[in-house]
């Protein structure tokens, strides 16, 4: 079973649309959660961390449901520049081993004019 599962998409939406991505993780001991963004042929970059209470950064809202082991990312008022692959990322520590990140395959988003 994969540690982190995402719908790979692609999602194709018009400018101004609202789009939501979902992600599930397998390890209930996971401690930290993130969304990274990766543009075509570029490196991943942190978009936002995800907190238990949910958090918002401008047009982006992230939610975490620990009971269901589910993470979501909502993008409102989509812009052309939002076109990218969105990576769901989860961390958990294993005893004395320092925490490591587990990446999902990513969800591809294309915003069209």
Partner 1 sequence: ETGVTQTPRHLVMGMTNKKSLKCEQHLGHNAMYWYKQSAKKPLELMFVYNFKEQTENNSVPSRFSPECPNSSHLFLHLHTLQPEDSALYLCASSHLAGGNNEQFFGPGTRLTVL
Query: Where do contacts with partner 1 occur on this chain (CB under 8 A)?
Result: 2, 4, 31-32, 34, 42-46, 49, 87, 90-93, 97-106
Query: Residue 11 or residue 78: which is nearer to partner 1 going by CB?
Result: 11
* Shortest separation between residue 24's beta carbon and partner 1, angstroms: 14
Q: Are 87 and 38 in contact (CB under 8 A)?
A: yes
Query: Residue 21 or residue 34: which is nearer to partner 1 going by CB?
Result: 34
Query: Residue 64 or residue 78: which is nearer to partner 1 going by CB?
Result: 64
Query: Residue 75 or residue 88: which is nearer to partner 1 going by CB?
Result: 88
Query: Cβ–Cβ contacts within 10 Å for residue 12, how many?
Result: 13
* Shortest separation between residue 1's beta carbon and partner 1, angstroms: 13
Among 73, 104, 101, which Cα is nearest to 5's? 104
Q: Are 39 and 84 in contact (CB under 8 A)?
A: yes
* Shortest separation between residue 52's beta carbon and partner 1, angstroms: 13
* Shortest separation between residue 101's beta carbon and partner 1, angstroms: 5
4's CB contacts (< 8 A; 6+ apart) are 23, 24, 25, 26, 88, 89, 90, 102, 103, 104
């Amino acid at each position: 079973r994969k540690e982190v599962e995402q719908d790979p998409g692609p999602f194709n939406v018009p400018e101004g649309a609202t789009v939501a991505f979902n992600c599930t993780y397998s390890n209930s001991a996971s401690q930290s959660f993130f969304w990274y963004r990766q543009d075509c042929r570029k490196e991943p970059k942190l978009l936002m961390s995800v907190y238990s209470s949910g958090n918002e950064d401008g047009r982006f809202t992230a939610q975490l449901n620990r009971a269901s082991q589910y993470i979501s990312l909502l993008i409102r008022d989509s812009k052309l520049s939002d076109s990218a692959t969105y990576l769901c990322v989860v961390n958990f520590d294993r005893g004395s081993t320092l925490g490591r990140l587990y990446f999902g395959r990513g969800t591809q988003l294309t915003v069209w004019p």
